[in-house]
Chain A
Amino acid sequence: MKYLVLFIGVICFIGCKDDVIITDTHNHTHLIVTTNGFPSMPMPDNNPLTIEGVELGRKLFYDPILSSDSTQSCSSCHQQEFAFSDPKQFSIGVDGFPGNRNASAIVNAGWLSTAFWDGRSSSLENQAEGPVENPIEMHDDWTNVVFKLNHHKNYPAYFKAAFSEVTITKELVTMAIAQFERTLISDKSKFDLSIKGNYNLTPLEAAGFNIFFSETGECFHCHGQPLFTDNDFHNNGLDLIATDIGYEDVTGNNFDRAKFRTPTLRNIEFSAPYMHDGRFNTLEEVIDFYSDSVKFSSTLDPVMTANSTSFNWTPLEKLQLLAFLKTLSDTTFIKNPDFSNPW
C-alpha cells in the first residue's frame, strides 16, 4: 500500500512539474532539476531535493510559526504574485520596524552562488537562518522556533519523512526551506517560448531584444541568458556617494563599495519596486535611470561608463526595452499551485 501511495504521488508530481526528473531511492523520492538551456543546478551533497523535503520546506515557508508572534512567515515578504518579492519598498517586521533593503525576488535562486543583495550568505540554507532572529524581521530565536516545531502535532512526522530524523533542528529547518526555494524555477516566459520557436516577438519586443543584447544597451553584460543575472556584484551608478556600501560590508574591500548582487530580470515586471533600496517604483524609471542618470564613482562598473557618456536612449528605444523586459514575465510561475500556500 505504501508503494502504491508513493507511486500515485510520483505520478502527480510529474504531472505538475516538467522541470524535474524523479528517482525513488530508499525512503525518499529524489528530484533532479533539468531545465532546458540552463546550466546544471548546483546542489549541496548533504541536501539533495526530495519530494518530502520540498513539501516540508513549502509548509515552513508559508508558516508564521517561524516568527516571534506567529504573524509572519517567509511568504509575508516574499509573495508569489510579486515573484516572491515584496511590493513595499522596505518590508515591515513583526515589531513594526522597516528593513533597509528591498526584499529580493526568489526566482531561479538555486543557481545563485550567494544570497542577499550584499551576498553575505553563501547558500540558500545559510540565508534561511537570518530572518528568524533578525530584530527587524521575525524577531524570534532559533531555540524557541525549534522548540515550537518539535512540540507541534504534525511537524515531527513531516521532518521524519523528509530527513529520517525525529529531532527537529535549525539546520533541518533551513535545509527544507532551501529545498523548496530551489524548486521556484521560472523558465516559461514569452522569451523562453520564442527561443523554442513557440512565440514570435512583436516588432517592439524584438527591437528591445536587439538593444538589450547589444552594446547600445549593454544590459546583457550583467543580465545575460539564461538566468538574466551574471551571479556577480556591480556598482551600477545609482549614487555619487553611496550611503549603503553593499558588498564592501561583506568583503571589507573598499573597491567593492556600492556593489550589489545582480538581480535576475526574469519576472521583473512583477517585482517592483526596483534596486536594492527600492527607490524606483516602475520599470520606466529604471530605464530612464540607465539611459540618462548613471553616476560616476571610483567603483562604478567599467561597462557602465566605459564610453564616458550616458546611453541617452530615445523615447522609442525606451519603449522597446520596456516591451522586451516584459517578455521575461512568466505567469505560470506566479500562479503555479505547487509554489502556493499549502495551508
Chain B
Amino acid sequence: MKKLALSIFAISNILLFSSCEEDAKIEDQHPHLTLSVEHKVDAQDLEFDTIKYVNSVGHKYEVQTLKYFISNVELHKAGGSKTTLKGPFYIDAEDPTTFTLDDQVDIPTGTYEKISLIFGLDSTANISNTLTSIEAIGMNWPDPMGGGYHYMKLEGSYDSLQLNIPKNYAVHTGASMGDPYHINLELPNSNFTVSTEDISIKIQMNVNEWFTDPNNYDFAAYPSMIMVNMQAQMALKANGNSVFTAIIN
C-alpha cells in the first residue's frame, strides 16, 4: 500500500511537472510583432519633390526631406504590464530601410489597450554626441541652441500664390534653447489583441497634420529659422498630437 501511494505520488508529480513545463514552453513562445512606420499626406502616400499637396492655409507644397526620431514606443497591456521598444529610432522617409523599427518583437498574448510613444527624444536621451550612428550626425542640434538632436527635419518648397514661384521652407523641431518640445503621444484607436498569430502594426504619420489642428501653420510666417522660435515650436508641438495613428494588421 505504501509502495502504491509512493508510485501514485511520483507519477502525479511527473505529470504535474510535465504540465508545468509545457505551460512554460507555451508561455515562452510568444508571437512576433513587426513594428514599422509609413508616411501619408492625408489619404495619399507621401511622394517627394512634387508640389501637389495643400496645407490648411491653402499653400501648395512639396517635401524634399523628412527625417525624424521617435523613441520609447510602449505597448500597454490591460492590467498594466507593457512591452517597450526604447529606441531612439531614426527614420528617413526617403529610405525604406529605416521604416522597420523591429520585426522580431517578442510580444505576450492578450489584450492591449493602447500604444504610446515619444515623438523626438526626451531629456534623458537628447544629449549631444551620445547617438553613435552615422545617421544621427546630420540631426545634431547645436549646443548654443540647446544641444541634442533635431527631433525632425521636414523641408521642401511651397507656392503660396500658386503662381509657380516656389519658396523654400524648413520645419526643424527640437529642444529649443534647452526647452523640451518632444511630444508624449498615445495613438488613437491603438487597442489590439494578440493571440497566437504574429502581428504587424504600422505607425502612420500624416504630414499634413503638422500644419493644422489646432494651429494653422503658415510657411510664409515661418519659412525657416525656427530653431529658436518658441512660438513655432509650440505650434508644432500642439499640432503633433494628431500627426500619428496606428494601423493594426
**Interface residues, chain A, with chain B CB atoms under 8 Å away:** 37, 39-40, 42, 111, 113, 209-210, 213-215, 218, 220, 224-227, 230-232, 253, 255, 298, 300-308
Contacts and interface: CB of A to CB of B under 8 A. Distances in A.
Contacts of A232: 138
A36 to B, nearest CB: 9
Interface in B118-174: 129, 131-134, 136-138, 140, 142-145, 155-157, 166-170
B178 interface: no
Given A213-B145, A215-B228, A306 B134 contact: no
B170 A224 contact: no
B132 A214 contact: no
Contact of A111 (B129, B131, B134): B134
Contacts of A308: 167-168, 223
A111 B138 CA distance: 13
B20 interface: no
A215 B142 CA distance: 10
Interface in B180-215: none
A295 to B, nearest CB: 13
A227 B224 CA distance: 24
Contacts, number: 82
**Chain B CB within 10 Å, residue with most, of A215, A226, A227:** A215
A302 B142 contact: no
Contacts of B142: 213-214, 220, 224-225
A225 B170 contact: no
B168 A305 contact: yes
B168 A300 contact: yes
Q: Is the interface of A mostly helix, strand, loop or mixed?
A: loop
B129 A225 contact: yes
Contact of A230 (B64, B138, B156, B227): B138
Nearest to A37: B129
B144 A302 contact: no
B132 A40 contact: yes
A257 to B, nearest CB: 11
A46 B131 CA distance: 26
26 contacts: A39-B133, A39-B134, A215-B228, A224-B137, A225-B129, A225-B140, A226-B137, A230-B137, A255-B48, A255-B49, A302-B65, A302-B156, A302-B157, A302-B168, A302-B169, A303-B155, A303-B170, A303-B224, A304-B168, A305-B167, A306-B167, A306-B168, A306-B170, A306-B224, A306-B225, A307-B225
Given A302-B224, A305-B167, 17 more contacts: A37-B129, A213-B142, A215-B225, A215-B227, A224-B137, A224-B140, A224-B142, A225-B137, A226-B129, A230-B138, A253-B49, A255-B64, A302-B65, A303-B224, A307-B223, A308-B167, A308-B223
**Chain B CB within 10 Å, residue with most, of A40, A225, A304:** A225
Contacts of A220: 140, 142
| Interface size bracket, B side | 20 to 34
B49 A306 contact: no
A227 B139 CA distance: 12
Contacts of B168: 300-306, 308
Contacts of B49: 253, 255
Contacts of B133: 39
Contacts of A298: 166
A132 B188 CA distance: 59
B223 A39 contact: no
A213 B147 CA distance: 10
Contacts of B144: 209-210, 213-214
Nearest to B155: A302
Contacts of B224: 215, 302-303, 306-307
Interface string B92-112: 000000000000000000000
A39 B48 CA distance: 29
B170 A302 contact: yes
A260 to B, nearest CB: 16
A103 to B, nearest CB: 24
